[in-house]
Amino acid sequence: MNRQGSGFILWLTGMSGAGKSTLSRALRSRLEPLRPVEVMDGDEVRTWLTRGLGFSREDREENVRRIGHVARLLARHGVGVIVAAISPYQSSRAEVRQLAADAGLAFVEVYIEAPLEALIARDVKGLYKKALAGELPHFTGVSDPYEAPEAPEVTVRSSSEPLEAGLERVLAALQTRGLLAPRAA
């Protein structure tokens, strides 16, 4: 089925510092000349859409639900939505995926994987150092869980492969699903 004009949700999940924002910017750059694209970055969403939510499990799940709702609204109108959000719980991501499927929208999950040691080494904000010292409670991957996807459509190993390699695999996954014309990517 050719769905190139259809909107879709491309959900990038991974721990803080794994490379979700970096990959989402690269994807936007490649996709914008081809179709309407919107990026929903977790940090920006927390500033504008979900301000006031904390970091309890319930608040994190609500954060993902709200992101998913807006992503569906945009995708329903033909936008390729790139979500770059930690979204640490498998059940929340599964719920968003199911709601997209119920709405007839394509959902592609991309796991940005990097070992904790690599994340600590590249931690420009110093968040892991604070979390490991006990100064930052409820930090995903340290004092709160991160549940890696069980069967993502694409896995990008950001600590051991170039950005371009992961980018190409994500674009290929969109092509395979008929969401991008072959060679367009």
**φ, ψ for residue 39, nearest 5 deg:** -105, 130
Q: What is the pLDDT of residues 111-163, one digit of tens each?
A: 999 999 999 999 988 999 999 999 998 899 998 999 999 999 999 999 999 99
Query: What's the number of CA atoms in the CB half-sphere (13 Å) around residue 13?
Result: 30
Instruction: Please pick, among 87, 91, 143, 160, the residue that the annotation labels catalytic.
Output: 87
Amino acid identity at 173: A
Does 14 appear as a known binding residue? yes
Does 68 appear as a known binding residue? no
Domains in the chain, please, with CATH? 8-175 (3.40.50.300)
Between 50 and 4, the higher pLDDT residue: 50
Does 16 appear as a known binding residue? yes
150 dihedral zone (left: phi>0; alpha: psi -120 to 50; beta): alpha
CA angle centred on 96, ends 164 and 52, rounded to 5°? 95
Does 141 appear as a known binding residue? no
Looking at residue 77, its pLDDT comes to: 95
Percent of the chain with pLDDT strictly greater than 90: 81
Q: What is the pLDDT of residues 150-167, one digit of tens each?
A: 999 999 999 999 999 999
- Angle formed by the axes of helices 20-31 and 163-176, nearest 10°: 60
Q: How many other CB atoms are found less than 10 A from the CB of residue 144? A: 17
Looking at residue 43, its pLDDT comes to: 85
Q: How far is CA 124 from CA 58, 92, 113, 131, 159, in A?
A: 28, 28, 18, 14, 15
User: Can you tell me the mean pLDDT for 45-54?
Assistant: 82
Establish whether 160 is a catalytic residue.
Answer: no
Residue 6: pLDDT band (50, 70, 90) is confident
